[in-house]
Structure 1
Amino acid sequence: MAQEIEIEFKNLLTKTEFERLLNSLPFPAQPQTQTNYYFETADFKLKENGSALRIRKKQEAYSLTLKQPHREGLLETHDPLTDQEAEQWLNGQIVMKQHVRRQLEALHIDPENLIYFGSLTTERRELNYKDVLLVLDYSTYGDTADYELELEAASAEAGQRMIDEILSGYNINKRETPNKIKRFFREKMDK
């Protein structure tokens, strides 16, 4: 599938809160590592459109993903990349793919203007729990590391109920949690 709607909830965690969830719920003992490589134009046209573009390397496979706002969450458009294509992207030689190209054209963004800004690496643990996907992430980018609870649900109502239940049940404060790309760029621009 080239597109999907993602309904997710996020909450930044302290290290202690992260460990409490990790030790209290049946998350896998070993994380899976994934790296996100972020792209933007020099004048931040993607951000201006509420969008984000990344290549994700997960289990030795690369995927190009454009995230855009959608009334129910985020619209994600995906295209697979070969190892060689991903390397070309990272070296400034944009190899545009069918589905993402179509979406960028609708945003009036020329792929030739895309610039690689850097990467964020995440150690991720996933758990299917009460009809939602719970995700514990430990991410590093630049000089920053953070801990995060993500929750993906079939509906906004189910997701809101579950995130409230977990935060309340484990005595975790609700925190404003920008998505990873926003945190990455904030850290990058603060330097």
Structure 2
Amino acid sequence: MHEEIEIEFKNMLTRAEYHNLLDAFHLNEQTAFKQVNHYFETDNLHLKEKGSALRIREKNGNYKFTLKEPHPDGLLETHADISNDDLTSCQNGTMLIPENIKKRLTALEIPVDQLKYMGELQTLRLEKEWRTCLLVFDHSFYADTEDFELELEAPGLEYGREVFDQLLRDFNIKEKPTKNKIQRFFDAI
């Protein structure tokens, strides 16, 4: 169980931009790893009202419960490892929320008893360390939708912005307003 501040920059990509970047960074989508985000919310979208999101990420046979909340420098993420059985219970309506996450939800005044499973988003992800940052190339599938996204996770806000802007310029990619995955998922459903 831990917390971290995530500093990241995102941009939606066209299929052509995505494949151009993969070629430039010598990446092959055949080597991408799959991750599945399972999303939870109340019928009245209490988390969304607070700019927050609650998910369980399934990756390489591991399951991580994560609450994301706004933070002045990015997003505050509170994590806890859980089991596949815990995921199944949450999907079936018995929310087994780790205590550290439950405390944060209570502080946000989220009615924990109203949380329920809303669905999943699957992503094929490729990562590349670059200029002391992490480049992430995502090809996602959800609610009859397919999209492509570039993320840059940076050690600092100012440096990250500089590196991200230069990357977009170098590859002639127009910066686009980019919602996070959970926002895109809820817009699609």
Query: Is the structural similarity TM-score above 0.5?
Result: yes
Match of 2:107 in 1: 106
CA distance in 1: counterparts of 2:105 and 2:28, whole angstroms: 37
State the TM-score, normalizing by the size of structure 2: 0.97
- CA positional deviation for 1:181: 0.3
Gap regions ≥5 residues in structure 2 = none
Between the two proteins, the alignment pairs up a number of residues equal to 188
Q: CA deviation at 1:127?
A: 0.4
How far the C-alpha of 1:61 sits from its partner, in A, is 0.5
How far apart are residue 109 of structure 1 and its match?
1.7
Match of 1:132 in 2: 133
Q: Distance in 1 between matches of 2:90 and 2:163?
A: 38
Question: Following TM superposition, by how much is the alpha carbon of 1:112 offset from its aligned partner in structure 2, in angstroms?
Answer: 1.5
Superposed counterparts of 1:152-171, under 5 Å: 152-171=153-172
Structure 1 residue 27, shift from structure 2 partner: 3.3
CA RMSD of aligned residues (A): 1.0
TM-aligned CA deviation for residue 28 of structure 1: 5.6
**Ranges of 4+ aligned residues in structure 1 off by more than 3 Å:** 26-29
Structure 1 residue 142 displacement after superposition: 0.7
Distance 1:96 1:152 in 2: 27
Which amino acid in the other structure matches residue 134 of structure 2? L
Cα deviation, 1:31-67, whole Å, max 9, x if unaligned, reads 0100000100111110111100000001010000000
Q: Which stretch of the first structure deviates more once superposed, 90-99 or 173-182?
A: 90-99
The structural deviation recorded for 1:123 is 0.1
Q: Check the 8 A contact 1:28/1:126 in 2, yes or no.
A: no
Structure 2: distance between partners of 1:81 and 1:56: 10
Shift of 1:108: 1.6
User: Which residue does the alignment assign to 1:79?
Assistant: 80
Residue matched to 1:33: 34
| Aligned twin of 1:24 | 24
